[in-house]
Amino acid sequence: MTAIAGRGAICAWGVGMAAADAGFAERRSALVDNDRWPTDWFLRGDAGLVPDFRPRKMLPERKAVKLMSREAQLATFAAVEAATGWTGDAKRLGAFAAAGYEVSSLAESEEMLALSADHGEIALERLFGPGRAACNPLSPLKILPNMALFHAVAAVGAQGPHQALGSSPAAGIAALCEAVDALQYGEADGALVLGADAQVEVFRAHLLAETGVAETLAPGEGAAALLLGGDGPVKVLACAIGQEPVAGTEPREHYGRIADGGRARAALYAEVAGDGVDLAIADLWNDPARDAKERAALPDCDVVGTRAMIGWTGAAHGLLDVVLAAALVESGAAERVLITCSGLAGDLGAVLVGR
């Protein structure tokens, strides 16, 4: 068991943990229409955008903001909020993150490809010649998958062990498992666990639309952070990751699908939940047939999902649900909360938060 000493969040419900807690308590949809892609890609409020976020005013190093992708900006905010109470040795504070994948801006990519075209086709010699001239030299730094972690570590001064894991909602749970291990084996006294992603971008929205889930999910952006260590009433009681079969080789065939009737899920959830839970913040996709299998795999309890309220937030989603669960336990609204999430290739994650 590992105590939760601090929480941080930023998502479509608002900037900061208080806004996330309030939005979740109200079960309020924060999805809005936007003009970043064609209106027929998604059939409902089509984006979970973070409102009123001013990075240059809200992050500790204004000069570093220009070096950050949107994901890194969100990650740094959540990390600073979660780590506010850390007073220990910086060399004993570790950091573990789910690494999302940023892409170049559409405007920059269009200019680069236009300069690389030769009679309507992209020529490699032009791509690395005139095309490269259109590329912002800071762009490669922004799209590296571990940069969000590095910016967050620099902002909070963590000097202990750190690790960035691959992009997936379940990668946030994997990062949490790594942090718990680091604490239990004495590698650190405290651990910052971080998940961040910015799916509200035309390239990734197009991928989401192609997978066939656009009728039920909308892209979202956000970040969540946990500070683990010390002593306190709210604890991570158990966490685990697993794998289930996928339905096919193409994203449209298996993205979010449950291929084996939920047997792998049920086994993982039962292992983590133990003697039972009051509530599950579950891996719901707003798809009745698919979600029925997820509910069948869960223990007997009340069930709620957040994707339909704040959008699909990729690598941030599992940890966003964990920080929300910690608030329920802290307030006394629940004694034990199970959090579940899954990713593109059948990866699963589950966490039990309680007293």
pLDDT, residue 139, reads 65
Which positions ≥6 away from 57 have C-beta within 8 Å?
none
pLDDT, residue 8, reads 97
Q: Would you identify the CATH topology of the domain 2-104+139-227?
A: Peroxisomal Thiolase; Chain A, domain 1 (3.40.47)
Find residue 207's DSSP bridge partners: none
Q: Summarize the chain as % helix, strand, coil (round to 5).
A: 40, 25, 35
Which helix (H) or strand (E) element contains residue 317?
Answer: helix 317-331
Give the global pTM: 0.89
> CA-to-CA distance for 103 and 205, rounded, in angstroms?
12
Strand ranges, E, within 166-277: 190-198, 221-229, 235-243
Question: Between residues 252 and 153, which one has the greater pLDDT?
Answer: 153
pLDDT, residue 131, reads 62
Find residue 281's DSSP bridge partners: 304, 339
> CA-to-CA distance for 321 and 350, rounded, in angstroms?
11
What does DSSP assign to residue 219?
B
Question: Between residues 144 and 9, which one has the greater pLDDT?
Answer: 9
Average pLDDT over residues 142-162: 87
pLDDT, residue 102, reads 56
Domain 2-104+139-227 and domain 235-354 have a common topology: yes
b (16+ CB within 10 A) / e for 65-93: beebbbbbbbbbbbbbbbbeebeeeeebb
Q: Contact 341/299 with Cβ under 8 angstroms?
A: no
Tokens of 162: 């750190």
Instruction: Report the CATH architecture of 235-354.
Output: 3-Layer(aba) Sandwich (3.40)
pLDDT at position 106 over 60: no
What is the residue-averaged pLDDT of the chain?
A: 86
Q: Exposure of 123 by Cβ count < 10 A (0-12 exposed, 13-18 middle, 19+ buried)?
A: middle
pLDDT digits (tens, 9 = 90+) for 211-260: 777 778 889 999 999 999 988 899 999 999 998 887 666 666 667 778 78
pLDDT digits (tens, 9 = 90+) for 277-324: 999 999 998 888 889 999 999 999 999 999 999 998 988 989 999 999
- Reduced to 3 states, what is the DSSP secondary structure of residue 47? strand
pLDDT at position 9 over 80: yes
**Nearest in space to 352 (alpha carbons), one of 327, 326, 330, 333:** 326
For the chain, the structural domain boundaries read 2-104+139-227, 235-354
pLDDT at position 210 over 80: no
